Structure 1
Amino acid sequence: MRKRLIYFFALLLAGSAALQSCKKDKKDTGTPSGPPTTGTRDELTKDSIYLYTKELYYWNSSLPDYATFNPRKYSSNEAELFALTQFSNNPETSKPYEYVDGKEPKYSFIDDGTVSGQLGGQGGDYGFSVKADPDRNVRVSSVYATSPAATAGLKRGFKVTKVNGTTVDLTSQTSVDAINNGIFGGNSNVKLTVVDNNGASKDVTVTRGFYNLNPILYTHVYTVGAKKVGYIVYNSFTSDTTKIQSAFSSFEGQGVSELVIDLRYNGGGYVSTSGYMANSIAPASQTGKVMFTYYFNQYLQNLTTTQRKSSVLIHQPILDEDGEIQPSSQAINGKYYTYADVGYQPTDNQGNVEHFSKKGGLNINRVYFIVSGSTASASELLINNLRPVLSEVKLIGTTTYGKPVGFFGIHIDKIDIYTPEFETKNQSNTGGYYSGMKVDQDAVDDVTHDWGDVNETELRYALNYAGTGSFTGTAVVIAGAKAVTLSKQNAATDLTATEQATINRKLDPGKFNGMILDHLRGKR
């Protein structure tokens, strides 16, 4: 049984001897040299962040040497990581690949265990998120079943008017900060004033707690003319593929020929789970053909045996399916397999080419993806992998996040560091969507309608196209379709889709966006 991907690595660089082993030969092109062999725990951690980034970072050739960068001068690990990510240059924008707003990296982050827990199917927060609606109201956008928020009675569409006593006002940064601190901060509870979907105002207190996280928020099958159209709201590529299998098996049993996959809030997750969903959708004729290829930096691709023996990667074990170290006298360190033993060239024989392998019997002609600026990484990977193999792939919403790169976690002391370490390209050798994927139909994120409501703007566009071949046509939707329109608080819609996406990026700025490489797990 596949376990969740959590790197239980030994304490890295715990003393001067370990630090000395991480020093690089000055002749090794692209690697650091000259870090001190002594220092405080904090200083050694900062050295380690630099040393790993210098070897692994996808744009490592842009980084200065140790003496020039001087990692110990930074006040925090986060400040150092941000500085490291601002040296690369994207020729299309003349800014770093990881530039967002000059305050934090677009892709890299430091995890204290929260992300690995969520992707393993365990939530430890309130279990809900909020977004701005087109009228500048803040609405509950999603609620995980069995979460504290669900227990407290929160539902998608509820208007949030106060957070811990502060009136919600999206034109005020103070109010936005109060929302983020209250809902996405580390407090044990949050007090909300909400207007429910019947227009009644009430106070709700949500207390943080642990719960099993089901990434599927909603599924339904619609009859559109003579077609069966399946709809799934999928929020995160967790390690659990059984829920995908169950949902798609149900779609198959009901004769679904077109799919609407709602990824508007899906920031990514495990590469293998994204691949599993792709295999559930792609035609059987693609089995054995290339799905996508991993590309690592040139330094990793050309590692010599000598460089592998002195690489910092020798401190990061490759764990088996049970999370255990894999002993071997054939390993580079003579003890157990590590990431220093891995081949990094973009070839089949080095394990860096993924192939299609059809799952189930679902036969899909067309897929509609509902997307937004929160749709990132493993979600974009799924879209990119299916584009060359399906007759039609349509995107509805706003431009996606733009993250064609991924990572594997590097454990340092009590934290995990995630920086871009590889890029992916599909079977047509297409990738590089750093500015996001453009949509076929612009649409606002309609938080004023519940999941599955046929009047919800983006779902309606997909169903219209399924029925008429046009987004602006009017399809006849029957058989179980629900229409529960939530009350609008303002008459005028004063936000465009782009403006709404900009505001929503400010809400929950720490939300995970990424794709984690786990194809090496258990291999050796």
Structure 2
Amino acid sequence: MISANKHFAKSALLLFSVLLSGMVLFSSCKKEITGSESVVTDSTSTANNAINDTAWLYAQEIYLWYNYLPSSFDPQSYSDPNAVMEAIRAYSAEQGFSDPVDKWSFAIKQTEWDNVSSGISGDFGLGIFFNAAYDLRVSYVEPASPAATAGIKRSWRIVSVDGNETINTEDATIDRISTAVYSSSSTAFLFRRPDGTDTSITLTAATYTAEPFLLDTVYTAGSKKVGYMVYNSFLGDVDAVKNQFSTLFSNFSSQGINDLIVDLRYNSGGYVELQNELANYLVPVAGNNSVMLTEEFNDKYSRYYDTTIYYAKKGSLDLSRIFFITATNTASASELLINSLKPYMDVKLIGRDTYGKPVGYFGIPDGDWYIFPVSFRSVNKNGEGNYFDGMAPDAIVNDGLEKEWGDVTEDCLGSVLYYISNGVFSNIASRSASDVLINSGNKQLGVNRFNGAVTNRRFPGIE
């Protein structure tokens, strides 16, 4: 299997250094933990060992499953704090699950995180997803990226990568393709367009700003007006994204939409703050001032951090139901949004099971790194939130990767529009043996994007 941060970290190395916008993190490196232990700096240790030691001491305090961490753990046996964070995942025992549930604790260089968290990318701007075990498609294209400049579109099939025509869901193949797509400075592709013609394109990585909003429009389904938005990430410049939300929902309201479809199929999360903002536009008026979610920390830090967030209704939409299009890589803040709205609306999911990440973290500075040990779980008003195995859709529908965004004949969008007009979903698919390969492959491809629910916090004692 591919490490859950391998290509994410490698692709970050391609980026130019830029200032973080939209999130205030932490700059000090002096640490003192006010819980049951204190961090003692060993002046004789190497800088790397000191950073690893600090990462381990923080994990013993703030990690959600700290009580399962063994006293025999040796942080100095690991190459860097990211390796320490990956190692502690093995001890994330959760009732009802036989395997460790944490796949996400990680560490990253502060300069790299500054780029990623503010939406600055340095790759080709190409998302890829398996349509079938031997059919790899372009799932989305970032509008300001090299891929967009080259004219590449969602739905194009990848025939070869750097002359290699082997396309399948085997680990070695996915690793090779992921490296070529997300971690290389230049890669040659052979694409097949929907009309059957082939085109060879060599892409060169460049710095660009990712665009969270890939499409918004309004359709007519029967007698109803239906809003549709493709929202691809909860990262980016927080203030800018909030302004886009305001404009978007003002437009939906002015057009008098009766239903709304939110397409989150490749949205793997980001800032909880932006999830909260979007939820406030979506919740019905009756939910105003009611509980949106509660963040629950371990018993050492619940008195510092346990937080209940309440809805503060924004905009004039007052819908009784909402449709979410989901896929294997719908994760974290996206799932948090769905879960937070369930007590207040008729929430319907169309597509495939979501990823399954009901937990989150915040960045803790450690030398020139940030460490992100999983630190809290989120539950909704009803105390629901243990969806480590994902959320099942109301209608199983294949990802219509053969069609571009907004095409009403695309399987998922078409299914929802049909439901709104006729009361039943169309394009229903069945679960098959091939789904295991496809889902596994797409989850591995998904590690190349940041996966998380990140909140702004200060660890007690950091000066």
Distance 2:214 2:437 in 1: 26
1:55 Cα offset (Å): 1.0
Alignment correspondent of 2:297: 296
Question: Contact 2:187 / 2:203 at 8 angstroms: preserved in 1?
Answer: yes
1:406 Cα offset (Å): 0.8
Map 1:236-247 to 2 at 5 A.
236-238=233-235, 239=238, 240-247=241-248
Alignment correspondent of 1:85: 89
Whether 1:415 aligns to 2:369 is yes
Alignment correspondent of 1:108: 105
Whether 1:229 aligns to 2:226 is yes
Task: Give the one of 402, 409, 415 matched to 1:455.
Answer: 409
The 1:494–1:287 alpha-carbon spacing in structure 2 relative to 1, beyond 3 Å, is closer
Alignment correspondent of 1:335: none
Q: Deviation string for 1:112-164 (max 9, x for gaps)?
A: 34454243232222111111113621111100111111011111011111112
**Match of 2:300, SS?**
helix
1:520 Cα offset (Å): 7.4
Which amino acid is the alignment partner of residue 395 of structure 1?
L
Q: CA RMSD in A?
A: 2.5
Alignment correspondent of 1:168: 166
Alignment correspondent of 1:481: none
Alignment correspondent of 1:468: 422
Alignment correspondent of 2:6: none
Q: Deviation string for 1:76-110 (max 9, x for gaps)?
A: 43332222121121221222222xxxxxxx12122
Alignment correspondent of 1:147: 145
Whether 1:362 aligns to 2:314 is no
The 1:212–1:258 alpha-carbon spacing in structure 2 relative to 1, beyond 3 Å, is same
Instruction: Name stretches of at least 5 consecutive residues in structure 1 with no aligned partner.
Output: 99-105, 303-342, 347-351, 475-492
1:494 Cα offset (Å): 8.5
Which amino acid is the alignment partner of residue 455 of structure 2?
L
Distance 1:284 1:208 in 2: 45
Task: Give the one of 211, 215, 219 matched to 1:214.
Answer: 211
The 1:174–1:443 alpha-carbon spacing in structure 2 relative to 1, beyond 3 Å, is same
Which amino acid is the alignment partner of residue 73 of structure 1?
S
1:8 Cα offset (Å): 4.3
**Match of 1:449, SS?**
coil
Task: Give the one of 375, 379, 391 matched to 2:330.
Answer: 375
Whether 1:198 aligns to 2:195 is yes
Distance 1:443 1:196 in 2: 23
Alignment correspondent of 2:55: 49
Whether 1:58 aligns to 2:56 is no
**Match of 2:301, SS?**
helix
Select between 201-210 and 498-507 the one with higher mean Cα deviation. 498-507
The 1:494–1:384 alpha-carbon spacing in structure 2 relative to 1, beyond 3 Å, is closer
Q: Which has the larger radius of gyration?
A: 1
Alignment correspondent of 2:123: 125
The 1:116–1:436 alpha-carbon spacing in structure 2 relative to 1, beyond 3 Å, is farther
Percent identity, aligned pairs only, is 34
Alignment correspondent of 1:256: 257
Alignment correspondent of 2:3: none
1:190 Cα offset (Å): 1.8
Alignment correspondent of 1:270: 271
1:508 Cα offset (Å): 4.4
1:495 Cα offset (Å): 7.0
Question: Contact 2:41 / 2:50 at 8 angstroms: preserved in 1?
Answer: no
Q: Deviation string for 1:337-367 (max 9, x for gaps)?
A: xxxxxx32x3xxxxx2111111111122221
Give the total of aligned pairs: 433
Q: Deviation string for 1:149-198 (max 9, x for gaps)?
A: 1011111011111112222321554432221110111x222221111233
Distance 1:188 1:408 in 2: 30
Question: Contact 1:372 / 1:400 at 8 angstroms: preserved in 2?
Answer: yes
Alignment correspondent of 2:98: 94
Which amino acid is the alignment partner of residue 513 of structure 1?
N
Select between 49-58 and 414-423 the one with higher mean Cα deviation. 414-423
1:214 Cα offset (Å): 1.4
**Match of 1:93, SS?**
coil
Distance 2:446 2:375 in 1: 25
Question: Contact 2:39 / 2:54 at 8 angstroms: preserved in 1?
Answer: no
Question: Contact 2:169 / 2:441 at 8 angstroms: preserved in 1?
Answer: no
Which amino acid is the alignment partner of residue 445 of structure 2?
L
1:212 Cα offset (Å): 2.4
1:509 Cα offset (Å): 2.7
TM-score w.r.t. the length of structure 2 is 0.87
Whether 1:181 aligns to 2:179 is yes
Alignment correspondent of 1:386: 341
1:211 Cα offset (Å): 1.7
